[in-house]
Structure 1
Amino acid sequence: MEEYLQPTYFIDSDHPAVIEFANRNSKSGETEIQKAVCLYYAVRDGIRYNPYSIEPLKESMKASSVLNKGHGYCVAKAVLLAACARSQKIPARLGFADVKNHLNTKRLEELMGTDVFVYHGYTELFLTNKWVKATPAFNLTLCNNFNVKPLEFGGTKDSIFHPFDKSGNKHMEYVKDHGTFADLPWDKALAEMMKCYPVYFEDLERRSKDFSTEALKENQ
């Protein structure tokens, strides 16, 4: 379990900014579960989800970098939650899966050329002697703009994307599991993304400045 408590290059749980953020947002929790839940919501709603933020820079995926920017995509937010948990002595690791997202925006889907998100990331926390999945990707405002139920986390059960939206339409499907890791397998994940989404990485001008507003316009 020790490897899931130690800081790494990406999960830099020893960074002063990460420690301060984690301390500030977990101080109301008396138990490990309560602290974990507090951290989950701090990352989910305090860091804006931005799928246009992926860049082939190793430094950009460090938890402290994500915290400094205040936004990131699913993997970036999962890395930050893992770092916050480790700073509070809660074992944490990263999990990855390819998912089919039925609630994509037209612009993003055109850039990606598909509705399959490869290496979608989530966090696993070791609480009450078991690993529990936590997915802090979509912040509350974005969920409302997409007409999707926000994903809640209570610390005792897996929290992964709902299969349906508020209207009963398909929301997300997990299609391939890549397993769990003590640190971010960035080179492997980046290579797969660049292979699957060549236009996304080539056409920077078409990336949106505000994914949440884009979602709202399409779902009004």
Structure 2
Amino acid sequence: MPTVTPPDAPPTDADLAPTAFLDADHPTVVAFVQRVTAGADSAVERVRRLFAAVRDELRYDPFDLPTDPAAYRASAVLDAGRGYCVPKSVVLTAGARALGVPSRLGFADVKNHLQSERLAEQMGTDLFVYHGYSTLWIDGAWRKASSAFNAELCARFGVEPLEFDGTSDALLHQFDAQGGRYMEYLRDHGTWDDLPLDHLLAEYARVYGPPA
């Protein structure tokens, strides 16, 4: 059963352990991590490369919100090659554990001020509840990283893609290139040692209605 943890609590063994969703020991996850971090000469550089690969190699797709738990396993998301913020964060978190970096899943409610008309019509709101991100323990501190928006999507909305260097948080942009509001964080739901999928799906149904 996933458990929420205090945001500043030091890592435990649970933050390195593979789970049903964070299947860090799955051959697909291991092969992905080894490929994208090959040649990196430090832990920080390996994490930086992992973040960039999850950000750009997995296309952000907010229109597909699966209810099948199997679709949320890191290995399955890699096979699919796409996902919304939560599946992509599952891959980043599992990948970090495969590197031996303690990691957790984090969730926050955010408001998207540059939401597309298509997505607004589907969601009926510009509020994204339980937006997923990852938090990684690097050099004695937790660092938050959102791998959701790939570089191509960022270019379409006039913002630079997020970069994660392991020394500071990399969360969604507050403003676009013209200074307009972009993403606004409203409420943080803490960090978790595994994906609380049943809870997330219940919240999605409450806010957006039952799945079609």
> Normalising by structure 1, what TM-score?
0.89
Give RMSD over aligned pairs. Answer: 0.9
Output one character per residue of 1:35-82: Cα deviation in whole Å (capped at 9) or x when no partner: 100100010011100001211111111101100000000011000001
1:95 equivalenced with 2:137 (yes/no): no
Q: Where does residue 153 of structure 1 map in the other structure?
A: 164
Cα distance in 2 for residues equivalent to 1:24 and 1:111: 36
Cα distance in 1 for residues equivalent to 2:208 and 2:67: 12
Q: Which runs of 5+ in 2 are unaligned?
A: 1-11
Give the match's secondary structure for 1:35: helix
Q: Where does residue 186 of structure 2 map in the other structure?
A: 175
Structure 2 counterparts to residues 25-40 of structure 1, below 5 A? 25-40=36-51
Q: How many residues align?
A: 201
Q: Which runs of 5+ in 1 are unaligned?
A: 203-220
> How far apart are 1:103 and its partner, in Å?
1.4
Q: Where does residue 206 of structure 1 map in the other structure?
A: none
Match of 1:61 among 58, 64, 72: 72
Cα distance in 2 for residues equivalent to 1:131 and 1:100: 24
Task: Name the amino acid aligned to 2:108.
Answer: A
> How far apart are 1:152 and its partner, in Å?
1.1
Cα distance in 2 for residues equivalent to 1:177 and 1:169: 23
1:19 equivalenced with 2:60 (yes/no): no
Cα distance in 1 for residues equivalent to 2:161 and 2:129: 22
Match of 1:123 among 130, 134, 140: 134
Higher relative contact order (CA 8 A, sep 6+): 2
Select between 22-31 and 183-192 the one with higher mean Cα deviation. 22-31
Give the match's secondary structure for 2:92: helix
1:109 equivalenced with 2:120 (yes/no): yes
Work out the percentage of aligned pairs sharing the same amino acid.
Answer: 48
> How far apart are 1:28 and its partner, in Å?
2.3
Task: Name the amino acid aligned to 2:96.
Answer: A
Cα distance in 2 for residues equivalent to 1:148 and 1:198: 31
Moved segments of 4+, more than 3 Å: none
Cα distance in 1 for residues equivalent to 2:180 and 2:207: 26
Structure 2 counterparts to residues 196-215 of structure 1, below 5 A? 196-198=207-209, 201-202=211-212
Cα distance in 1 for residues equivalent to 2:83 and 2:54: 10
Task: Name the amino acid aligned to 2:63.
Answer: Y
Cα distance in 2 for residues equivalent to 1:49 and 1:28: 27
Structure with greater helix share of residues? 1
Q: Where does residue 7 of structure 2 map in the other structure?
A: none
